[in-house]
Structures are given as C-alpha cells and as structure tokens.
Structure 1
Amino acid sequence: MGPAMPILEFMKALKNGRHFFLIAGAMIAVLVAGNAIGTIYYGKKEALELAFGKGAQVEILSLFLTDSQVEEIEQLARAKLESKLFTFYVGRNEGELLGYAAIESHTVRTKPETLLIILTSRGELDKIYTLAFHEPPEYQPPQRWFAQLYHRQITELNLNYGIQGITGATLSSRAAVSSARKVLAIYQVVIKEKY
C-alpha cells in the first residue's frame, strides 16, 4: 500500500458528504504546492551557450577516472566524488580554445542543486551559474555571491577564510565551494596536461 492510499480511502469516505469537493480541492492544492518547490533556470543547451557563447563548437569530454585519479582528486578537492565518471565540455571557436565547463549536481539539504562551473582556457574558475535549485529559494546563493570564488586557486576556496558564507544558507554555500573545488581538481589531475 503506497503513501497515496490513505488519502484515496479518505476521499472515498467523504464522497457522499457535501464537503467532498472543498476538502478534495484543498488536499490537491497542498499536494501540488509541496511538490512545486524548486526552479530550473537553464537547460543544457542554454547552459552551454552561457559557458561559451552562441555558435561555439562544444566537444563532450567523458572522463573515466582510475582509482588513483579519484584518490588524488579527492585529496586535492577535500571532497568525495560520487562517481568515477565525469563529463567536461570543451568550447572552441574556429579552433581556438574558449574554456571548459562542467555541470555538477549534488544534494544541498535533502534536495538537489545543479551548477554550471566554467573554467577559462587556462583552467581558472571563471563563472558559476545555478542551473536548477530545488531547495527553498531563501537557501539559494545569489549570483553576486559566486563572484568572490572567481579566479582563486583551489587552495584558496575555503568558506570563512577569504570567502564569506551566507547567513541562513550555509549548506548551499558549502556545497557550491565543494563543487568548484571538485571541478578544479579534476581539471588539474586529468585535463591540464592532456588537453
């Protein structure tokens, strides 16, 4: 018996009552509102245009990390990787390297957030955009907050050590910093010398 079963039984019991439609409408409104938290700002195509501009040629770089690479990346990033598979996007314009991008998803509190993390052609953290955020909006870091992370070395990406946290959104800011460190670490360990 699924979680919706008691609600269905309750509605059947009320079916003969005159308040059925009022109560049923209120229950549906509550269920819909409970699932409506979260915003998707950009799709993948829009995200890659944010990263490299319209008309750029985008190469998909699928990385299958070895155990030793995972260990090195986790030490450098001071964060755990959830998978040995990671995808980078490489942007070019008429053969000229524009930079790299990664789409990083993680759980903030109990719901997911997806960030677009953009690196310059030299592998520096250039921009971060929120692609989707499913926690309550008050926990979402504003775009101007991300600016303090740009063009810092991976060792300088520490909350409260040169990077201001966000009151009421500590987990979100920690997750964003951790994602940026992971992307930078993967770039340094796997991509920097090979591409």
Structure 2
Amino acid sequence: MLKFRVCWLLASLVLWQGMARAEVFYSKEEAFELAFGVGAQIENLPVFLTDEQQAAIEKLARVKVDSQLYTFYEGRRNGQLLGYAAIESHKVRTQPETMLIVLSPKGELARSEILAFHEPPEYKPPTTWFGTLLHKPIAELRLDQGVDGISGATLSVRASLDGIRKAMAVYQIAVAGAAN
C-alpha cells in the first residue's frame, strides 16, 4: 500500500510539473518594439545608485533594491525622446517573471507587459489589469490602496506592482533627480 502511494505521489508530481510550464512571450528586441515602435533607436542608460539613492528608492517604492546598478533603455526617434524602458525580473512565488516597464519622458507609467512568466498560467495577471495602472502615481500603485487585486493571482499582482514601483522610483530619484 505504501509503495502504491509513493508511486501515485511521484506520478502526480511529474504530471503537475508538466502542466506548470514556463512561457516566454517576447524577446528583448520585440519588447523594445512594444515600448517604442519599429525603428526606434534604443540606447542603454545605466544608472549607478549611491547608498543614499538606494535607500530613498526603497523608501519610495516600498521594495528592496538588490543591486546598485539599474539599466533603463532610452527610446528615441529622429532625436526625440520617446521614453524609458526597464526590463525587470523578480520571483513571484517560486518562479521568475520578467516584465517590460515603459515610462513616458516625464516618468509616468506608459505601459507594462509580461515578457516571460514561469509560474502556472492561471497566476498570470491579464493584460487588461495592467491597463488599469497606466498614468497612476507611484503612491497609488499598491494592492488595495489604489489597485484592485485579482483572485488567484495575488502574489503575481504584488510582484508586478513591486517591479513597476521600483522602476518608477529609480527614474524619479536617480534619473529625473540627477537632471535637476
């Protein structure tokens, strides 16, 4: 009887692993086309955070910043700044999610898109949910404090919001703040 239960448990785990598959939706190049359109010039904008900036970003975004190096990508067309994009990877529950976060030239959230999602598909927030976040200030990008949750995807929603707030805070403190 014990042997049967162990075999059943192993078979269930193998079946479950097959159902929970990773999915990559867009490559980096496709992400930049989503962000800025076909033919835009993309330039790396590495941001090297000071200890003070890192602390200010963590306070503003209410999320831990793991590295003092953050990379934005500037999109331009005919010399005109279209905005900034960040590719943010973080763990949702036990698996990673990679997002594209696009900010306007003024630092407002212009678009967010999941590029890769390794959790079960039913945990992935729908595109329409991301649309509800556009142009909201960073203070309103918190679950149940300006943003509605999604039943069954609470951890995914939290992780996505954390990544968006972090990108916006890095922009506000280290990019826009450095320009002033």
Q: Same fold (TM over 0.5)?
A: yes
Equivalent of 1:123, from 61, 84, 107?
107
Closer, same or farther in 2 for the Cα pair 1:75/1:57, shift >3 Å? same
Residue type matched to 1:192 in 2? A
* Deviation for aligned residue 1:57: 0.7
Is 2:151 the partner of 1:171? no
* Deviation for aligned residue 1:141: 0.3
Unaligned stretches of 5+ in structure 2?
1-10
2:20/2:121 contact within 8 Å kept: no
Q: Deviations over 1:60-106 (max 9, x none)?
A: 01112111110010000010012111110000001101000000000
Which portions of structure 1, spanning 4 or more consecutive aligned residues, are displaced by more than 2 angstroms? 30-36
1:16-165 matches, cutoff 5 A: 30=14, 34=18, 37-165=21-149
Query: Residue 189 of structure 1 corresponds to which residue in structure 2?
Result: 173
Residue type matched to 1:143 in 2? T
Residue type matched to 1:96 in 2? Q
* Deviation for aligned residue 1:161: 1.8
Unaligned stretches of 5+ in structure 1?
1-26
Query: Residue 10 of structure 1 corresponds to which residue in structure 2?
Result: none
Q: Deviations over 1:1-34 (max 9, x none)?
A: xxxxxxxxxxxxxxxxxxxxxxxxxx8xx48954
Query: Residue 5 of structure 2 corresponds to which residue in structure 1?
Result: none
Distance 1:33 1:109 in 2: 15
Provide the alpha-carbon RMSD of the alignment. 2.2
* Percent of aligned pairs sharing the same letter: 56
Closer, same or farther in 2 for the Cα pair 1:149/1:32, shift >3 Å? closer
Distance 1:181 1:34 in 2: 33
Closer, same or farther in 2 for the Cα pair 1:173/1:36, shift >3 Å? closer
1:4-19 matches, cutoff 5 A: none
Residue type matched to 2:95 in 1? K
